Structure 1
Amino acid sequence: METAWLALLGLLLAGYFVLGGYDYGAQMLHPFLGDTRAERGSGRETGRSPALEAIAPFFLGNEVWLVAFAGVLFGAFPHLEGSLLPGLYPLIVAILAGLVLGNAAVQLRGRARGARGRRCWDALIVFGGALPALCWGCVLGLLLHGVPRRPDGTFHIGPGDVLTPFVLACGVTTALLFAAHGAAFVALRSAPELAAVARRRGAGLLRAAAAMGALPLLLTLFGAGAAMTNRMTSAVLAVLLAAALAGAWWWLTRGHHVRAFTATCCATALPVLLVGAGHYPYVLISPAGTGLTLGEAVTDDATLKILSVFGVVVIPVILAYQTWSWWAFRGRTGRRHPRYF
């Protein structure tokens, strides 16, 4: 049961990276993917954004996965939450601030009275996508690198542990990956002429993500990067991540939008699997190789049984809602598509 709950925790975070990741990416790219400012033949400015229209039907709904992840973390793994979150408060606050600012800016952009007002909201939209993406990457990099452990067994995270070349490189790589994931999603959802622009942006971002991702790998090979418990498993997952990036670039440049988006989905989910499977049976590890095991982090069996009753009901509802929303809003956006913002 402990392993099943750890797998569920990873599934929820990976699901959020996949679904929330293209939200972040579309926000970061929306000023650079074109803006249909005038209705054809009328000259009347509309301020429509192809990137925002692509994510509009799913916007805010994807945060359900983050809420579910937080609920499982607090309920099933209280010792992990108590060891990890106090040191991550600056990153968590930055993530939440980016979410609030980005969500508000996306919804208020359509109420701007002129181009200057839209530009201000556009800057907040980009910031609200880039900041959480960067911070989530730093969290992953910190978990991969390891969290310093005090002599009394507690873990401590300071600014010096976050502001390292490995952690910052992971943050930038994740931000670039999310941006490419957003470009693939916009290409999948947009009209052909806009999809072509998104393909070009996404292909360039995938190359940049692969180049930046080589830095954490090199640091790991030279002993200054990730401290992995299961090295063979980690190597296999790293190869799969590289293959997903290469496949996404190949299919995106050739206009295979569904395949490209599937590949970027795999690429955004694999880092979560790398943390969980690469450190198992530890859920939190120190650079020295010791850490908090799954048995030490999980709550008691009685609580897990109670939570399982809720999980059996809640998780299928989340999956059903997500499936329904994708089916209901399938198809490409366009000039006659309903405007949500």
Structure 2
Amino acid sequence: MSKMSLETCWVALLGLLLAGYFVLGGYDYGVQMLHPFLGGQAQAGPAVERTSRNAALDAIAPFFLGNEVWLVAFAGVMFGAFPHLEGDLLPGLYPLIVAILVGLVLGNAAVQLRGRAHSARGRHWWDILIVFGGALPALCWGLVVGLLLHGVPRRTDGTFHIGPGDVLTPFVLACGVTTALLFAAHGAAFIALRSAPELARTACQLGSSLLRATGAVGSLALLLTLFGAGASMTNRATSAALAALLAAALAGAWWHLSRGHHIRAFAATCCATALPVLLVGAGHYPYVLISSSGAGMTLHQAVTDGATLTILTAFGVVLIPVILAYQTWSWWAFRGRTGRRHPSYF
């Protein structure tokens, strides 16, 4: 296989792993953000409320932490196959990457430890950390997508620099809020798919509202792009087609959630959460990083040498099928709604 073919395969794999994490980790974030809103009624008493709120978390329990393997694999591919991209991009994104990791650690710990709290006040503080641990990474991933779509400044020495002024722009902030809302809606669709009928109905209603909000904020990002203050796309026709697919996926998810079609709604939100990654990759190809002040970094400039790619391919041929097999097995083993076939986990 030629080096050019290997480059294309590895950048496609990089996008697949990140898109997979957005789909699988996205509903983890979403369920965490919606956790307080899908609890029991106040008059039901603290014991019933605790059980009902655990039912929402039980939807993600069999897959919790296991989905992070996609993020680890994505980081490994970037470090190994695209060292120049990692060396230029990650230092500028350091504050956002740290915020994502802080959210992951706090959220994961809070989900695990909430059930050990012996008072309503203790559970309340763990609930806050659960929401924070879902909302912070979701927002930061959206900011990262917004920065990549818009382009990042490049210094005269060829390195990229990202400052607060590049993050705190209307377009990047709109992308961050849109992604957070989308992940929350994705989590609602997942709860509707996995939970008992009463909780599923509540999740459908909440998810429908979140999808409308996602469309509204996403429209702001689109308007900013149309007026020249948003995304800087290399392949405009491809980008327009992918943006249309994203809008269709959001509309389809809203339609099916509104009518209680849980499987179709979740399939639509899966597509919607994966499409931003495809929009960045296919919309910028052959660039992997766009500069807001001129030419960006091409795939050929970002990738490692051919010999290293060949060695990595031998590992990838074994590793990727194992990840896919593990994910498929876990979904099959824990299929069905919680509360019927499976016990309470948290």
Normalising by the residue count of structure 1, what TM-score does the alignment of the two structures yield? 0.97
**SS in structure 2 opposite 1:86?**
coil
Give the aligned partner of residue 130 of structure 1.
135
**SS in structure 1 opposite 2:90?**
helix
Give the aligned partner of residue 281 of structure 2.
276
How far has the Cα of 1:337 moved from its partner? 3.6
How far has the Cα of 1:334 moved from its partner? 1.9
Corresponding position: 1:216 with 2:221: yes
Distance in 2 separating the partners of 1:21 and 1:289: 33
Contact residue 46 and residue 120 of structure 2 kept, 8 A: no
Distance in 2 separating the partners of 1:43 and 1:277: 50
Match of residue 188, structure 1, among 176, 189, 193: 193
Question: Which stretch shows the higher mean deviation, 260-269 or 46-55?
Answer: 46-55
Corresponding position: 1:47 with 2:79: no
Distance in 1 separating the partners of 2:114 and 2:59: 15
Corresponding position: 1:203 with 2:208: yes
Match of residue 126, structure 2, among 121, 124, 135: 121
Corresponding position: 1:238 with 2:246: no
How far has the Cα of 1:114 moved from its partner? 1.3
Give the aligned partner of residue 85 of structure 2.
80
Give the aligned partner of residue 111 of structure 2.
106
Contact residue 143 and residue 175 of structure 2 kept, 8 A: yes
Give the aligned partner of residue 253 of structure 2.
248
Corresponding position: 1:143 with 2:139: no
How far has the Cα of 1:157 moved from its partner? 0.7
Show structure 1 runs of 5+ residues with no match: none
Q: How does 1:12-31 map to 2 (within 5 A)?
A: 12-31=17-36
Show structure 2 runs of 5+ residues with no match: 1-5
Report the identity percentage. Answer: 81
Give the aligned partner of residue 97 of structure 1.
102
Distance in 2 separating the partners of 1:114 and 1:308: 52
Q: Tell me the alpha carbon deviations over residues 270-308 of structure 1, each in whole angstroms, 9 at most, x when there is no partner.
A: 000000000000000112451000000000000001101
How far has the Cα of 1:256 moved from its partner? 0.6
Distance in 1 separating the partners of 2:204 and 2:127: 21
Give the aligned partner of residue 327 of structure 2.
322
Give the aligned partner of residue 301 of structure 1.
306
How far has the Cα of 1:44 moved from its partner? 5.1
Contact residue 287 and residue 296 of structure 2 kept, 8 A: yes
Give the residue type in structure 1 aligned to 2:138: A
Give the aligned partner of residue 338 of structure 1.
343
How far has the Cα of 1:125 moved from its partner? 0.1
Give the residue type in structure 2 aligned to 1:227: S
Give the aligned partner of residue 181 of structure 2.
176
How far has the Cα of 1:168 moved from its partner? 0.5
Q: Given the superposition, is the C-alpha separation of residues 45 and 221 from structure 1 closer, same or farther in structure 2, using an over 3 Å criterion?
A: closer
Distance in 2 separating the partners of 1:339 and 1:196: 20
Q: Tell me the alpha carbon deviations over residues 188-235 of structure 1, each in whole angstroms, 9 at most, x when there is no partner.
A: 001111100000000000000000001110000000000000000000
Corresponding position: 1:158 with 2:163: yes
Q: Given the superposition, is the C-alpha separation of residues 325 and 83 from structure 1 closer, same or farther in structure 2, using an over 3 Å criterion?
A: same
Distance in 2 separating the partners of 1:115 and 1:8: 45
Q: Given the superposition, is the C-alpha separation of residues 300 and 149 from structure 1 closer, same or farther in structure 2, using an over 3 Å criterion?
A: same
**SS in structure 2 opposite 1:87?**
coil
Root mean square deviation, CA, Å: 1.6
Give the residue type in structure 1 aligned to 2:290: I
How far has the Cα of 1:161 moved from its partner? 0.5
Contact residue 36 and residue 50 of structure 1 kept, 8 A: no
Normalising by the residue count of structure 2, what TM-score does the alignment of the two structures yield? 0.95
Give the aligned partner of residue 3 of structure 2.
none
Give the residue type in structure 2 aligned to 1:322: Q
